[in-house]
């Protein structure tokens, strides 16, 4: 008398079917793997100029922020000096807060032009295909190469 569920023979057949199905799937996917590999290589080559532009734009942005970093350091040093001698009561605290407010307003004014540059850079990253008019414009503003000329 055999096993009620087919026993080892049935299990062997099921595993054989499964093995054959996996082998068939593997063979069927081989061309797709090649296409995918080619597509990724093509995408990598297509993005190479954008990576260079982005690197240049970020370097320019970094150089543009250097004076601001110095100013911010100065504002913080001034504030730190004020806070170190904060024993003059409410008048002294008012002066400290005034310095801080003035420093933040000044910093905000200095950062305002960079907001536009960063918005354009964001567009460059959002539309890297070259099909959109915005591609490269943010990098022009940041001093990167002009991709429209």
pLDDT tens figures, 63-122: 878 877 877 787 777 777 766 666 666 777 777 777 777 777 777 777 777 777 777 776
Angle between helices 89-126 and 7-84 (to 10 degrees): 140
Within-domain flag for 132: yes
Within-domain flag for 35: no
In angstroms, the CA 6 to CA 3 distance is 5
Our count of domains for the chain comes to 1
DSSP assignment, residue 147? T
pTM above 0.85, yes or no: no
Contacts of residue 141, defined as CB under 8 A and 6 or more positions apart, other chains included, come to 116, 117, 120
pLDDT band at 134 (very low <50, low <70, confident <90, very high): very low
Q: Kindly tell me if the per-residue pLDDT of 142 is higher than 70.
A: no
Within-domain flag for 20: no
Within-domain flag for 2: no
Contacts of residue 54, defined as CB under 8 A and 6 or more positions apart, other chains included, come to 121, 124, 125, 139, 144
* Domain limits for position 67: 49-141
Within-domain flag for 36: no
């Amino acid at each position: 008398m055999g096993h009620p569920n087919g026993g080892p023979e049935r299990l062997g057949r099921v595993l054989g079917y499964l093995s054959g199905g996996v082998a068939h799937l593997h063979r069927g996917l081989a061309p797709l793997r090649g296409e995918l590999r080619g597509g990724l290589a093509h995408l990598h080559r297509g993005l190479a100029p954008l990576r260079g532009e982005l690197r240049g734009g970020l370097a320019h942005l970094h150089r543009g922020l250097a004076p601001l970093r110095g100013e911010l350091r100065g504002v913080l040093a001034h504030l730190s000096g004020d806070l170190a001698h904060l024993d003059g009561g409410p008048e002294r605290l008012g002066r400290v807060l005034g310095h801080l407010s003035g420093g933040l307003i000044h910093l905000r004014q200095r950062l305002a032009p960079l907001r536009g540059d960063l918005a354009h850079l964001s567009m460059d990253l959002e539309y890297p295909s070259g099909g959109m008019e915005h591609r490269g414009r943010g990098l022009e503003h940041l001093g990167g190469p002009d991709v429209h000329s």
